[in-house]
Structure 1
Amino acid sequence: MTRQIHFTETGGPEVLRLREVELGAPGAGEALIRVDAIGVNRADVMFRLGRYFYLPRFPSTLGYEAAGVVEAVGEGVTEVVVGDSVAVIPAFELTEYGTYADRAIVPAHALVRRAADSDPVEAAATWMAYVTAYGALVEGSPVAAGDHVLLLAASGGVGLAALEVANRIGAVPIATTRSADKKQRLLDAGAAHVIVTSEENLAERVREITGGRGVVTAMDPVGGPGIVETIGSMAPGGRLLLFGLLDPRNDPSQALPTVPGVELSVYTLFPVTADPERRRAAITFVEAGIADGAFQPAVDRTFDLSEYVEAHRHMESNSQFGKIVLTVRH
């Protein structure tokens, strides 16, 4: 039997339940992994609330990231073999698979081999954050060396990964936070500049930092009315990438406003992870950064699998600095 977290209605963390299920054997193109650590993401929270870009089908599990060991493979699987240490990357929908369990069946194409002696907690905290940052800053319309990049609400997993990605490609990252307590930590994490938005005017500070030009690219996980001020910090022809859309005032049924001189779009990593060639390129980029020490996943706090409600409450407190990870005892 497998312990698995699921929910049968949308709502707060209290709707999550732990159940025991029979997983069965992996099907064609699938692998069964023993899960040792699970990355907790904002996407999980939004999915649980019914505010994600697709809705759960009940009973539903959740979880895009994990690290563990392959215990069985289905027909046609060549990516991994039994005994491989692996990490799970977000390359599927939560209506099909989920990693909040002590064992999970996932598509084999969503697995990345890792060293057997690597830390499963760090591995579970890597792929959502770094591939999101890669797709936004490196792929497609890449940020050039010397360009200023604005990273809003930068103390989350994606924001901290984006700081490291921006530095790796020679860009100049400007981080924002509402809390002055996080300013020095963001500077220590690689931000060239930090703007405390509860104390400073965002657009004015960005213009000051960039010599009046504005930023070429901005990554905003919140959205809502605050995008007006963000747009005021953009350079002509700049890109504002909205991801996460955490502000409850966001209405996904409404078209994005047209802003002359600014490219405004909703961004996700899934076009990258769904395409085999793009996924391989992203994995290569992230693994290179890990190998040379440029990328060091920031873990805020770990919780035992049985503490899944507390982990989600901690996520919703917005007090974390880095990723939240569930650990599994076998």
Structure 2
Amino acid sequence: MARVVRFHELGGPDVLRIEQVDVPAPAPGEVQIRVKALGLNRAEAMLRTGNYIETAPLPSGLGLEAAGVVAAIGEGVDGFALGDAVSVVPPPSMVRWPAYGEVATFPAHLVVKHPSSLSWEAAAAVWMQYVTAYGALIDIAGLRRGDFVVITAASSSVGLAAIQIANMVGATPIAVTRTSAKKQALLEAGAAYVVALAEEDLGERLTEIAGVDGVRVVFDPVGGPAFEPLTAAMSRGGILIEYGALSPEPTPFPLFAVLTKSLTLRGYLIHEVVGDPVRLEAAKAFVLDGLTSGALKPVIARTFPFEQIVAAHRFLESNEQFGKIVVTV
């Protein structure tokens, strides 16, 4: 028996319950870990409310990221020993492989031995943010030295990861945030410039920063009306990568900018990298190199104990965080 978090109905954070359940042994090709820390993601709140790309069969577990020690190894798995310190690349289904629990099981190819210098909290905050940002910026957009890259929702864990990756390859990260309240923190986190949507004209400010050549890469989880000023500030042949739909407002298609500048508007989910063995191994290598060198450093917004999972989800939905929310087990 182990404690896990489940929900029996869709709704707000209060539907989450900590329950004692029997956790089966790992199947062939799986690794089971005794969890030390969990990383929280907005996708988990979306699953809980019925707004995610995956449908939860009630009652349902949830969670995409964990760090801990290897507790059991399924048949056919090599390269791990009991007690190894590991963290987990988000699986394709959090319903099939939920992370929120004292014990959790994952496909072996998604379990990684992380650098020993990482704390459990930092290790639980690695893979969703860095693989998401790597897949968009490096794998798809080919971000390189000298590029301007616009990063919206910049104070999120993925936004901060994107800032660090941009600096790692010599690009210039332009952080976009709602107000100037987080401006100084974003500058200290590595943003070269910060634009406050509610206080500045986005298009004018981006043109002022990037000049006539414009911004080659935009990395956006929001959509909505900002599509028009974002694309207006982009360079010929630029690429806008959309990985979310946070805006409640309609997203206009910027036809004139797309036609006149030959822009690419590209939808993207982390699953396309995780589901491709070659791309996944390249992502792992890039992230591990960055963690080892110190170029990539997870930013922890706040840590909650396992017993306060409801409070942790309330904070997740507050949009007050700067970086990753972590739960210790």
- Using the size of structure 1 for normalisation, the TM-score is 0.94
**1:46 aligns to what?**
46
Q: Does 1:110 align with 2:95?
A: no
**How far 1:92 sits from its partner (Å)?**
2.5
Q: Distance in 1 between matches of 2:47 and 2:65?
A: 14
The whole-number CA distance in structure 1 between the counterparts of 2:181 and 2:55 is 36
In 2, Cα distance between equivalents of 1:182 and 1:16: 30
Per-residue CA shift, 1:72-131, capped at 9, x if unaligned?
Answer: 011111142211110011133112111011111111111001245630100000110111
CA contact 2:141–2:217 (8 Å) conserved in 1: no
Tell me which residue corresponds to 1:312: 313
Q: Does 1:156 align with 2:152?
A: no
**2: distance between equivalents of 1:183 and 1:117?**
29
Deviations along 1:250-288, whole A, 9 cap, x unmatched?
Answer: 69xxx9776423211221111111222211111110111
- Report the secondary structure of 1:291's partner residue: helix
Q: In structure 1, what is the Cα distance between the partners aligned to 2:115 and 2:130?
A: 18
Moved more, 235-244 or 98-107: 235-244
* Cα drift, residue 35 of structure 1: 0.2
2:238 aligns with: 238
- The residue type paired with residue 154 of structure 1 is A
Is the CA contact (8 Å cut-off) linking 1:92 and 1:110 kept in structure 2?
Answer: no
Counting only pairs closer than 5 Å after superposition, residues 182-221 of structure 1 correspond to structure 2 as: 182-221=182-221
Tell me the residue number matched to 1:12.
Answer: 12
Measured against aligned partners, the alpha-carbon deviations of 1:138-185 in whole angstroms (never above 9, x if no partner) come to 113301210100000100100001001001111110001112121011
Count of residue pairs brought into register by the alignment: 325
Distance 1:168 1:118, change over 3 A: closer
- Conserved? CA contact 2:223–2:247, under 8 Å: yes
> Take 1:115 and 1:191, find their aligned partners in 2: how far apart are those partners?
26
1:138-287 aligned within 5 A: 138-249=138-249, 259-260=258-259, 261-287=262-288
Question: Which consecutive residues of structure 2, in runs of 5 or more, have no partner in the other structure?
Answer: none
- Give the 3 Å change call, closer, same or farther, for CA 265–117 of structure 1 in structure 2: closer
**1:51-70 CA distance string (max 9 Å, x none):** 22222222211111110000
Contact 1:3 1:101 in 2 (8 A): yes
Q: Which amino acid aligns with 1:208?
A: E
Cα pair 2:239 2:265 within 8 Å, conserved: yes
CA contact (8 A) 1:79 1:109 kept: no
CA distance in 2, matches of 1:49, 1:256: 28
Residue identity (%) = 47
Q: Distance in 2 between matches of 1:52 and 1:257?
A: 26
Q: What SS class does the counterpart of residue 166 from structure 1 fall into? A: helix
Q: Is the 8 A contact 1:167 1:190 kept in 2?
A: yes
How many angstroms apart in 2 are the aligned matches of 1:223 and 1:8? 31
Secondary structure of the 1:32 match is: strand
Kept after mapping to 1: 8 A contact 2:31/2:70: yes
Counterparts in 2 of 1:30 and 1:154: CA distance versus 1, 3 Å: same
Structure 2 contact 38–328 (Cα < 8 Å) conserved: yes
TM-aligned CA deviation for residue 47 of structure 1:
1.7
Cα gap change, 1:233 to 1:48, in 2 (>3 Å): farther
Shift of 1:6: 1.1
The answer to whether the 8 Å contact 2:115/2:292 transfers is no
Following TM superposition, by how much is the alpha carbon of 1:249 offset from its aligned partner in structure 2, in angstroms? Answer: 4.3
TM-score, length basis structure 2: 0.94
Contact kept? 2:303, 2:327, Cα under 8 Å: yes
Sort the Cα spacing of 1:45 and 1:233 in 2 relative to 1 into closer, same or farther, 3 A.
farther
Q: Which runs of 5+ in 1 are unaligned?
A: none
Report the 3-state secondary structure (helix = DSSP H, G, I; strand = E; otherwise coil) of the residue aligned with 2:142: coil
Q: How does 1:27-176 map to 2 (within 5 A)?
A: 27-116=27-116, 118-176=118-176
Alpha carbons of 1:275 and 1:316: their partners in 2 closer, same or farther (altered >3 Å)?
Answer: same
Task: Look up the equivalent residue of 1:204 and give its one-letter code.
Answer: E
Q: Normalized per residue, which structure has more helix? A: 2
- The 3 A distance-change label for structure 1 pair 78 and 184 is same
> In the alignment, is the contact (CA less than 8 A) between 1:39 and 1:66 conserved in 2?
yes
